[in-house]
Amino acid sequence: MTATAPLARSDAPRAAAEFFARTGGDPLTDAFPPKRAAHPVTGARPVPLEAVEALWHEIHARPRSGASVAYLHVPFCETHCLFCGFYQNPWRAEAGAPYVDAMLAQLERGAATPAQQGQPLRAVYLGGGTPTALATADLVRLIEGVRRHLPLAPDCEITLEGRILSFGLDKARAAFDAGVNRVSLGVQSFDQRLRRRLGRRTGRAEAVRFLEGLAALDRGAIVIDLMFGLPEQTPESFAADVELAASLALDGIDLYALNLIPGTPLLVAQEKGKLTPAPRERLGQFYRAGAEAMDRAGWRWLSCSHWRQGTRERNIYNFEAKSGAHCLAFGAGAGGNLGGTGFRILPRLADYLDRAGSGGCLTTGMMQAGPLAPALNALRAGMERGRLDPLPVSQALGTDFVAVAAPLLDQWSEAGLMRPNHRFLDLTLAGRFWQVTLTGHLIQWLIQEMPRLRAAPG
């Protein structure tokens, strides 16, 4: 989870037609220009630098209530995968214990604050980076520290993110014993040649054996990520990956499009002509192939990118974090949110290690949510799930959301991206693929139109 980004605004309002989808072709491929990585539109504004430290102490001294989660960041990786834009620090075995000591110091120092006490947490996410790179003893210490210093709901989802590399079944058992009840692993692809080219050291057969063994432990939800649009990948080969994953007794599968992030090895390799990812305009075909493979296997989608089978997988952290929940943040580079104030913990490892247990300000910048935040959070929550309920958005706006957004909603329905379902608006398969684009357009529209409506006479 990252701190929010400022809204880019132009002086003149954009006409509704600028948000319209193309019609006449396949909406999965033709509705909008090709999907690209972009900063989310939030409506948030930066906090003046001179006010950051005082606001940090204020939001941590403020009682916290309502939906809440926590994020713990472990910013080390054994390798730098070609596609990854989040790489921070190379993993060194001797770095693990001091880093966990610092995180425990931050957890312990904040335990008495109203922000860290407060409402029981619905979910805790240990992400990175690669938390599973930690030595077993350090990983167990960290999980036990979470359970000791954070107020967890009885059914709190505790996720451990990681990679198959360096995460054996003995370490998995220890993590489950310590309190983890959900494991999320970045597999990306089972294709042997493609895995090598992406910097994945574990082979296909080893990955399959490990996932089968992990599922056989029957200790918690097992979730993996699969990525589409990779070099040399086809919709058919991606569907084969999905079918294999669906056969492994897992609980959840995420299907993500490759984002070409500036500075990543993959983008550099593409610019040099060494690797060629799938054309952006074909990503919808991959999404269709994956979604249809999930449907054939009997899996049910929980969100536009996430599927599950059975009853164990809940995906709580991702839902709540994208819906504006309070998020306590621990570890270098962790993103948090308290009462609509977004922040990022000091990303430089040396700075964090020096100050983690000091009780002082652990960020250099903050973003403050705007007045439309409750409505935008309700909007994001519905769009993420693929079924938008206009009622909570309207209640937060104080006016009829459907009437305000009618020009966009009507045109998108005609373009095959959504359809009415009683009081709801359901995204079609194409709409789910374009969900991030649609949500961004709706947010921009509300930020643009609501001040004009409120300023209008009468």
- Rounded distance between C-alpha atoms, residue 183 and residue 200, angstroms: 18
What are the C-alpha distances in Å from 142 to residues 105, 138, 180, 350?
11, 6, 11, 19
Using the 3D structure, point to which of 311, 334, 354 is the last residue of a domain. 311
The yes-or-no verdict on residue 8 having pLDDT over 60 is no
Banded model confidence at residue 9, pLDDT cuts 50, 70, 90: very low
Ramachandran bin of 66, using left for φ above 0, alpha for ψ from -120 to 50, beta for the remaining angles: left
Residue 199: its pLDDT value, please? 72
Which tens digit of pLDDT belongs to each residue from 252-273?
A: 999 999 886 666 666 666 667 6
Indicate whether 344 and 420 sit together in one domain: no
What letter represents residue 371's amino acid? Answer: P
Contact 22/32 with Cβ under 8 angstroms? yes
The yes-or-no verdict on residue 81 having pLDDT over 50 is yes
Indicate whether 408 and 305 sit together in one domain: no
Banded model confidence at residue 200, pLDDT cuts 50, 70, 90: confident
The yes-or-no verdict on residue 12 having pLDDT over 80 is no
Q: What is the largest CA-CA distance in the chain?
A: 68
Residue 264: its pLDDT value, please? 67
Residue 10: its pLDDT value, please? 45
State the CB neighbour count (10 A cutoff) for residue 153: 14
Indicate whether 98 and 155 sit together in one domain: yes
Contact 347/403 with Cβ under 8 angstroms? no
What sign results for the dihedral spanned by CA atoms 283, 287, 290, 293?
negative
Residue with tokens 């937060």: 396
Indicate whether 286 and 400 sit together in one domain: no
State the CB neighbour count (10 A cutoff) for residue 368: 18
Q: Name which residue leads in pLDDT, 267 or 395.
A: 395
- Rounded distance between C-alpha atoms, residue 103 and residue 352, angstroms: 9
Best CA proximity match to 227, nearest among 266, 280, 187: 187
- Domain for residue 1, yes or no? no
Q: Where are the alpha helices (DSSP H) in 33-182?
A: 52-61, 93-110, 136-149, 169-178
Indicate whether 240 and 252 sit together in one domain: yes
Which tens digit of pLDDT belongs to each residue from 362-377?
A: 999 999 999 999 999 9
Indicate whether 108 and 254 sit together in one domain: no
Strand partners, 71: 125, 329
Which tens digit of pLDDT belongs to each residue from 327-365?
A: 999 999 999 999 999 999 999 999 999 999 999 999 999
Residue 19: its pLDDT value, please? 97
Region 170-185 average pLDDT: 98
- Rounded distance between C-alpha atoms, residue 405 and residue 324, angstroms: 21
Region 239-248 average pLDDT: 98
Residue with tokens 């960020």: 363
Banded model confidence at residue 194, pLDDT cuts 50, 70, 90: confident
Tell me the residue ranges of DSSP E strands in 244-283.
252-257
Range of the domain at 286: 204-212+225-311
25-34, 205-214, 233-242: least confidently modelled range: 25-34
- Rounded distance between C-alpha atoms, residue 382 and residue 385, angstroms: 5
Residue with tokens 């969100």: 303
Please provide the average confidence, as pLDDT, over all residues in the chain: 91
- Domain for residue 146, yes or no? yes
Contact 123/69 with Cβ under 8 angstroms? yes
What interhelical angle do 235-246 and 283-296 show, nearest 10?
30
pTM confidence score:
0.92
Contact 409/370 with Cβ under 8 angstroms? no
70-79, 134-143, 259-268, 275-284: least confidently modelled range: 259-268
Indicate whether 95 and 165 sit together in one domain: yes
Region 313-323 average pLDDT: 96
Provide the domain count of the chain.
3
State the CB neighbour count (10 A cutoff) for residue 317: 27
